[in-house]
Structure 1
Amino acid sequence: MACFTAENMGDAVLVRVYGRKTELIVDRANELRNFQVLQDHSCAPSLYCTFENGYCYEFMPGKALGPEHIRQPNIFRLVAHEMAKMHRIHTNGSLPKPCLWHRLHKYFNIVKTEFPRKASNSGLHQDVHIPSLEVLEEEIRWMKEHLSQLRSPIVFCHNDLLSKNIIYNKAEGHVRFIDYEYTGYNYQAYDIGNHFNEFAGLNEVDYSLYPSKEIQLQWLRHYLQAYKNLGQEDLGGGSKSSGESGAVSEEELESLYVQVNQFALASHFLWACWGLIQAQFSTIDFNFARYADIRFKQYFKAKPAVTSFKTSK
C-alpha cells in the first residue's frame, strides 16, 4: 500500500502488512535482516520502520513488469545484471547453506500436517489431483541427492523473482527487485531457474512461454558477464583489459544452462507445496490449489527431459 500527499507521488512511502498465517511459510525476522543486507548493498530501497505485523519502506518509481516484458531482450539484460549484483553480496567469511532444502522440508511437513491422508489417487482439494504424500516425499529425496551433485554455487538469492517483483525505471534505464520475503542464500541455478519458470505467468499460467534454449543462453551470457565483472571489481581486478573482462566460455554457458533447468524442477515443487498451504489459510481471492496442481504437473512433465541434460566435464 502506498501513502502519499503529492500528486506526483514524490513523497510516497510504502506500507507492507503481513497476510494471515504467512508466518508459517515466511521467517519475518529473517526477511527484515535480509532487507537490511540488500539495502546496505544498494539492492533495496530504504527501510524506514517496522511494526508487529509489517514495515514501512521507500517507494521506488517505475513500472512493475508483466510476463510479456521479461521476455524482451532490453529488459532481461537489465534483470540478469541486477540478479548478478545480488548474487555477488558477500557472506563475510561464513560458509552459507542453501535455504532450499530446509524450506522444502518445512513446507512439505506443513502439507502433511494440514492434509493428512492415505496414499491414494484422491486429491487434496476438490477437483485438484495431487500425487500421494509418499510419492512427493520420494521426489524430495531424489531432488536433494541429484541437485546437490550439480555443484551450483551458493549465493545470496531473491528466490521469488516473478515479473511483478521487478520494477523497471525507464527514465533511469535500470530495474530493481522488490519483496524480500524469501530472500536468502541458495543455489545460484535455483534463483535463475525459478525466474525462468515465471515467464509462464501467475494468473494464467502458460508453460509454452518458458524461455527457449536460445533465449536462455542469451540471458545467461548477460548474467555471467555481469557476474564475472562484478567479481573482478570486488577483487580489485580493474587492471584486466576490456577484452578479457567478463569473457564467458561456451562450456560454462552450457553448464549453467543445464544446472538452471534442473533446479527449475525444485522451483515447481516448492511453489506447489506453497500453493497447498495458501489454499488452506490465505484470504486472497486466488485458486491456490489449482496453482499447486499446475506446478506439480509441470514438475513431473519436465523432469524426464531436463534430467537427461548432461553438464560439460
Structure 2
Amino acid sequence: MTMMMPRQGHSAEQQWHQMFTHGLSFYMPKSSALGRTAQFFVKCTGVLIDYNYVVVAAHCVHWNALQTNICLGEDPGFQLVVKNQLKVFYGSNDITRANVVAVSKISVPSFFDYDKPEPRENDIAVIKLQHRLTIERDFVVPICLLNNPTFLQGQTVTAVGRALADPTSFFGMSGDDLNHLNEIQTEMVSNSYCQRLYSDLRMSYNKSSMICGGVSKKGVLKGDCGGPLQVEKNGVYYLIGLTITSFSAVEYRDIMPDAFTKVSQHCPFIAAHTQNKVHCLTNEYSVEELQNCTKFYDKILFEKYQKTCLFTDFVDGSTKNLCRYP
C-alpha cells in the first residue's frame, strides 16, 4: 500500500489527512492459467487506521488467475491472498518511490461472499503490518473513524486513489499517472436514490451497509478499489467509506454513482481484528482535541468516553465501567 506524504504548502490541519492515500499491491506466486510459476501484480487503494493496521476492500485481497475485471474480478475460483504475497507501499504518493512493509495478518469477515456481483456486501478487510509505522520516521498518520456519521445529499467528500476520473484529465491518463496517488472532490448521493437506481439496473444495493457518491464523469476507476472516501468535520478527517465499485470507468460512467462500504457498520469487526486498538469514535472532535487519533489524545478520549462505557450487570444490578484507562 502506498501512503501519500503531506504536500508542500498545506497547513498543519490539511497535512495530516494526506497520509491515507494508499495503493495496495500483491504477487500471485503461481498462475494455473499459465501452468507455471508466474508473477501477477495487482494494485488497490487502502487506508491507514492505526500505525499497525490498514483497511481495504475485501475483494482486493482475493485473486482469480483466469480473469480479473476493474475491481479484481467476479468469476468463481477466487482465493484469499496469502500474507507473504502481499506488500504494502507507503511514505510517498509515487508508488515507485514508496517504502515497503510486509504483512503479518489478513482478516476478512466470514460473511463476505466474493461470488456475488459487485457491489458486494461486507466488502472490507483489515491488514496487520509486520512492523509498526511512526509519524516521525514514516511521515504517516492514521485516519479517524466515526461510530455513527451523518451524511447529507450533496455534501462534499474526498475520494483517494491512483486513477481517479476527472473530466479534465481522465482521457489523457498515462501509465505513469497510475503510479501516483490522487484525490478528487465529489458529492454524496442519497441512499434512497442509489437503491432505486441500482434496483432498476438489477444490481444489489443495501443502503444500511453501503453509501454512494460521485457525479457524472467524476469518480473512481481501476486502482481506486478499496480506497478511502473521507469527510472533513471541524478540521478532522474521518473515513466513511471504502470503494467497492468503479462504474464511472465503464458503461455506466454518466449515470451511476459509485458504491462504498459503509465503514461505520463494521466498527465491531475493526475493533476485534485490531486487538481492540482501533475503535470508532462516538462523538466528533475538533482538530485541537483530536489531531491524529494517536495515543497522545487517549486521555482526552478516555475522559469523554467514560459515560458511554457504563454497563449494568443484569444479574446483580451493579454498574461497571468497561473503559480501560490508556
Q: Same fold (TM over 0.5)?
A: no
Q: Which has the higher contact order (CA 8 A, sep 6+)?
A: 1
Q: Which has the higher strand share?
A: 2
TM interval, shorter chain, is: under 0.3
- The structure that is helix-richer by fraction is 1
